[in-house]
């Protein structure tokens, strides 16, 4: 990586640690925010963006690339339950044109239960490969998007994970529903921006060895599993996996987590979650879709469209 790219990456990471969110330019180029102003009122800004005209200046998009969250549930509570399937279809299909202007490589694949989006992001200026996102968007309300990320490595697509991916299909966990940064039927460009910043966090982890920005604990009812999750995933100098906005893991929850027996915690984790932390990976049909060897799988085959409530506790 060019020194200048590394410098930009480091600065974005520094801002993410300070809860300052980067700009995302067209094509998915993430750049540092112009100021160190901490952003609040996440939900309101996201709503506004659905009506905002877009342009190459990323100022109008600064509200999109917000917090990520380890434990996310695809199901959107609240407002989404009141949205009908036809409304979701209309909302998504109407945005394809504007998404293609911002992310020109975007492609849409129809599906019996919704639509697939395949889109590419540059992620970082000067990076000689970018990322591809495969995004399943069900039209039935209550399920939310499900997406996978891959680096466009010359040797073939490389899955982006396992940090901050869902159990156990390795799908992207880029934000927590409680953040209100994106809700079902919302702006697709904002959604791809969020995935793009998630990929940039992975790049930061790869280059510098640490995850930048806020991290979340596992969602209820998995609080008992959090010590193991943090011990296994969190580096000492990363923001603590309990969701703290300021405290590093070593000086926050780690001393308490260390009182547990790690082997016992690992067993409890497998018993409750039905698999190990390291078992996360994309379904074969998704991997084959990414390589171009196969067409898009049916959304119903990779996204549980039967029981939205039942699956929430298995994700993080
Ligand atoms: Zn903590």
Of the candidates 149, 155, 225, 158, the one whose C-alpha atom is nearest the C-alpha of residue 191 is: 149
In the reported structure, the alpha carbon of residue 253 is separated from the centroid of ligand 1 by a whole-number distance in angstroms of 4
> Quick check: 177 and 295 in contact, CB under 8 A?
no
Q: How confident is the model at residue 176 (pLDDT cuts 50, 70, 90)?
A: confident
- Residue 57 Cα to ligand 1 midpoint, Å, equals 36
As given in the structure block, the two tokens for residue 207 are 């280059």
pTM of the model: 0.85
Spatial separation of the C-alpha atoms in residues 293 and 303, rounded to whole Å: 20
What does the pLDDT look like over 212-256, one tens digit per residue?
999 988 877 777 799 999 999 999 999 999 999 999 999 999 999
d(CA 144, CA 148): 14
Instruction: Calculate the alpha carbon distances from 101 to 59, 95, 186, 277 in Å.
Output: 17, 10, 17, 38
Distance of CA 216 from the midpoint of ligand 1 (Å): 9
Rounded distance from Cα 221 to ligand 1 centre (Å): 18
pLDDT band of 177, cuts 50, 70, 90: confident
CA of 217 to the centre of ligand 1 (A): 9
What's the gap in Å between 201 CA and the centre of ligand 1?
20
pLDDT at 290 over 60: yes
Please give the pLDDT value at position 308.
Answer: 57
Q: By three-state DSSP, how is residue 138 classified?
A: strand
Angstrom distance (rounded) from CA 5 to CA 182: 29
**Domain edges within the chain:** 3-211+279-314, 223-274
d(CA 60, CA 45): 10
Ligand 1: distance of its center to the CA of 20 in Å? Answer: 20
Q: What gap in Å lies between CA 83 and CA 17, rounded to an integer?
A: 35
| Mean pLDDT for the stretch of residues 49-54 | 31
Q: From ligand 1's centre to the CA of 251, what distance in Å? A: 8
């Amino acid at each position: 990586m060019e020194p200048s790219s590394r410098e930009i990456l480091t600065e974005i990471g520094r801002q993410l640690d300070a809860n300052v969110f980067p700009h995302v330019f067209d094509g998915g180029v993430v750049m540092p925010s112009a100021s160190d102003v901490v952003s609040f009122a996440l939900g309101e800004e996201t709503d506004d963006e659905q009506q905002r005209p877009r342009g190459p200046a990323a100022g109008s998009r600064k509200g999109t690339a917000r917090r990520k969250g380890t434990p996310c549930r695809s199901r959107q509570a609240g407002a989404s339950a009141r949205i009908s399937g036809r409304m979701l279809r209309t909302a998504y299909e109407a945005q394809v044109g504007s998404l293609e202007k911002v992310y020109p490589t975007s492609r849409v694949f129809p599906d019996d239960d919704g639509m697939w989006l395949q889109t590419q992001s540059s992620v970082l200026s000067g990076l000689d490969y970018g990322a591809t996102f495969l995004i399943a968007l069900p039209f039935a309300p209550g399920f939310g998007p499900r997406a996978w990320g891959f680096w466009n490595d010359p040797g073939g697509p490389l899955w982006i994970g396992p940090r901050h991916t869902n159990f156990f299909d390795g799908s992207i966990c880029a934000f927590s529903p409680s953040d209100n940064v994106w809700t079902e039927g919302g702006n697709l460009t904002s959604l791809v921006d969020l995935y793009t910043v998630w990929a940039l966090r992975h790049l930061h982890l790869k280059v510098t060895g640490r995850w930048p920005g806020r991290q979340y604990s596992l969602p209820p009812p998995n609080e008992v599993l959090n010590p193991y999750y943090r011990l296994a995933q969190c580096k000492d100098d990363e923001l603590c996996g309990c969701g703290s906005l300021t405290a590093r893991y070593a000086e926050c929850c780690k001393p308490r987590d260390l009182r547990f027996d790690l082997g016992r915690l690992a067993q409890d984790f497998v018993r409750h979650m039905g698999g190990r932390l390291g078992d996360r990976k994309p379904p074969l049909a998704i991997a084959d879709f990414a390589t171009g060897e196969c067409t898009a799988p049916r959304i119903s085959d990779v996204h549980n469209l039967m029981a939205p409530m039942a699956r929430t506790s298995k994700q993080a």
